[in-house]
Amino acid sequence: MSVLFVITKVIYIIVCVVLTAIVLMQEGKNAGLSGSISGAAETYWGKNKGRSMEGTLVMITRILAGVFIVLSIVLNMSFWNK
C-alpha cells in the first residue's frame, strides 16, 4: 500500500467526520407555521444569510461535499491497486 494512498484515506476520514459535524450544527430549513406568520424571514439574519454563521456553515458544507465526492472517486480508481 503506498504512502499516498494512506494519506488520501486519512484525509478522506477527516473530511467525513468534519462534514458530519458541520451538517449536525446547521439549523433546519423549516421555520414552521409560526415562523412564516411572524415574519421570521424578514429579520436581520434572514436578509444577511450569506454573512451569518448559518451562511458560513452552508458554504463549508458545499465545499466539503465537493471534496468528499472527489476523494471518493480518487480512492475508487484502479491505479491504487497496481
- Phi-psi label, residue 26: left if phi above 0, alpha if psi -120 to 50, beta otherwise: beta
Instruction: List the grid coordinates of 78.
Output: 484502479
Q: Which of 4-8, 32-36, 45-49, 72-76 has the lowest mean pLDDT?
A: 32-36
For the chain, the domains span 3-21+39-81
pLDDT, tens digit (0-9, with 9 covering 90-100), for 12-37 = 999 999 999 999 988 776 655 555 55
Q: Give the alpha-carbon dihedral of 57, 24, 17, 75, to 10 degrees.
A: -80
pTM of the model: 0.69
Percent of the chain topping pLDDT 90: 40
Q: By the 8 A CB rule, do 13 and 68 touch? A: no
Instruction: List the grid coordinates of 2.
Output: 503506498
Instruction: List the grid coordinates of 38.
Output: 411572524
